[in-house]
Amino acid sequence: MPENRKAAAKVEPLRKTRPCPECGKPSNREHYPFCSNRCREVDLSRWLTGSYAIPVADDETKADYPDEEN
């Protein structure tokens, strides 16, 4: 029976560890894809302050408001 317990205890993680996008340390399962709560909050802060932005082409904005071109 002890052999079965050892085999069951050797569970592979769902995701492979990847480098943290903020500091490069291995990611932590609890804070994935970051290594710590600090790195996760730094990233969130950058999104909230506008440091990160998703680029939008001019053609896409004109397609949203076709009546305003005239």
Average pLDDT over residues 18-24: 95
HEC sequence for 1-69: CHHHHHHHHCCCCCCCCCECCCCCCECCHHHCCCCCHHHHHHHHHHHHHCCCCCCCCHHHHHHHCHHHH
Instruction: Please indicate if the annotation marks 46 as binding a ligand.
Output: no
Q: What is the pLDDT of residues 30-52, one digit of tens each?
A: 999 999 999 999 999 999 999 98
Q: Quick check: pTM over 0.75?
A: no
- Residue 23 annotated as binding? yes
Q: Alpha-carbon distance 40 to 21, whole Å?
A: 9
Task: Tell me which range, 3-7, 10-14, 18-22, is most confidently predicted by mean pLDDT.
Answer: 18-22
Q: Is 27 annotated as belonging to a binding site?
A: no
User: With 60 as the cut, is the pLDDT of residue 8 above it?
Assistant: no
Residues in the chain: 70
